[in-house]
Amino acid sequence: MTDLALRHSGAFRIWLIAIAAALSLSLWARPAQAEAYLLIDASSGKVLQATNATQPWYPASLTKIMTAYVTLSAVKQGRINLDTLLTVSPNALSQAPSKMGFPAGTQVTVDNALKMMMVKSANDMAVVLAEGVGGSVDGFSALMNETARQLGMTQTHYVNPNGLPDDRQISSARDLGILSRAFYRDLPEYQYYAHLPGIKFGRRITHNFNKLIGRYPGADGLKTGFICASGFNLVASATRNDRHLIAVVLGASSSAQRTVKAAQLLEKGFNGSKLAWLKPSLGTVEQLPPVDALPPNLRDQVCGPHRKRPAAEDEDDDIEITLDNQSDVANPTYALAKLQTNIKASDILSVPAVLAQPVIVYTGPARTGSALIAADAEESARQAASIAAHKKRRKAAKTAKKPAAHKPEKQEAKQDSKPAASKHAAPKPAASGKTKHATASASEPAAKPAAKPAAKPAAKPAAHPAPKPAAAAPAKPKPKPTASQKDSAPKT
């Protein structure tokens, strides 16, 4: 009986432990808040911190990490090269912003398309690459899904190369961590695409949407993403003292908040903790157990009417901090205190980024040296001429509107004044018998004005008592009787 009781008590204890583990796992995996975080060591894949890391999520423009990975893998395998010319299709042109907006038929190299996609997050350039490498968006999506399967991304499915809204396009912080590790591990010669400071297309300069570039010490990648359903996403990479860390932030409420949280995660990883040995090991990123659930839809929280301005991928962090006094981001010290960090927001967002020279991008075949400078100057001149022409058209439109509002009134006034003058002048020709026949024989329109004034003065005195005009007429000739008699003789 004693052995049986012990066996039963031992089995019960194991059962309780299993139940507790399952409950803790479900609570850890289920999103208590609409955010997901992951911090991993890029070299070993060890998980340093994870919150909702296996919760399915809409990747938004983090999709472009896979687009770049598949494209650069094709370059590395020799199927295409960076100077291969690709053509902008009507389908690429029709993509929603952010985009370059080149007309259909424009040609661009693989290299330039990658730079525009990774820095500006250009959705049209992602489609140009997809159609150039995979033949079509569907064909390229199949390549993306096959690559994801090979890398062990068990929670990811792609239907487009740019991350524009689609309920079927799903990933997770876990899978994005796996992909980011593969990008740095498998394509070391192309890592510069991950941390370009900005691009210059003629007169237009676009800085990297990843605000850690040029601000956070050691930041070297990787990509931002945003749609209303996903919130603000970021995969941030940094290297210090030969240690490479990758942080994944999903579902932040603003661009500034995702930047701050990523910096906090990276800082925690680099500084470590004396009590880290007390925490249970989370294993490697590949070992994180996936969760079977639907991704949260953050549209109301991120893009709802409570925002002072519409949410956007390229929103300015500094303006976000200044305007929204009710948000955590408005008070960086408070926001960072919540994140339990010693890093100050002023070190990340308030201080202007150290911006390196933006990379020149252009359309058409590959150019180097003086040809590249000439292409840049030509595009700058074209844009300047286009801007000048646009301003000229706007100015012409404004000046055309002003006369249209005032000229008709002046013209009407002139037309009204001319007949008024003829009314007074009409009686003079009527006084001489010679001109009477001349005006009558000239034309009917000339005769009509003479007739009208004659009728009107006759009608006006009729409205007043007859004695008054009669009295007024003799009053004038009295001072000069001889003149009045002479003038009245020919009239009769």
- What residues are designated binding site? 223
d(CA 452, CA 423): 8
Task: Return the beta strands (E) in 367-449 as ranges.
Answer: none
Cβ-based neighbour number of residue 353 at 10 Å: 18
Distance of CA 247 to the CA centre of its chain: 25
What type of residue is 107?
A: Q
d(CA 254, CA 234): 11
Query: At residue 28, what are phi and psi to the nearest 5 degrees?
Result: -70, -35
d(CA 341, CA 33): 20
Cβ atoms of 262 and 234 within 8 Å: the answer is yes
d(CA 45, CA 68): 21
Element holding 37 (H helix, E strand): strand 36-41
CA 39, 45, 48, 51 dihedral sign is positive
As given in the structure block, the two tokens for residue 45 are 């894949």
Element holding 367 (H helix, E strand): none
What is the residue-wise DSSP string for 264-300? Answer: HHHHHHHH--TTGGGSPP--BGGGSPP---PPP--HH
From residue 240, give the alpha-carbon distance in Å to each of 41, 197, 443: 12, 19, 100
Cβ atoms of 199 and 119 within 8 Å: the answer is yes
Q: Which residues sit in the known binding site for substrate? A: 223
d(CA 371, CA 179): 37
Cβ atoms of 137 and 166 within 8 Å: the answer is no
d(CA 96, CA 228): 14
Q: Residue 217 carries which DSSP code?
A: T
Element holding 85 (H helix, E strand): strand 85-87
Cβ atoms of 148 and 179 within 8 Å: the answer is yes
As annotated, the active-site residues are 61, 64, 121
Q: Residue 144 carries which DSSP code?
A: H
Q: What angle do CA 209, 211, 216 make, to 5 degrees?
A: 150
Cβ atoms of 419 and 449 within 8 Å: the answer is yes
Bridge pairing between strands 243-252 and 47-51: unpaired
Q: What angle do CA 204, 263, 275 make, to 5 degrees?
A: 170
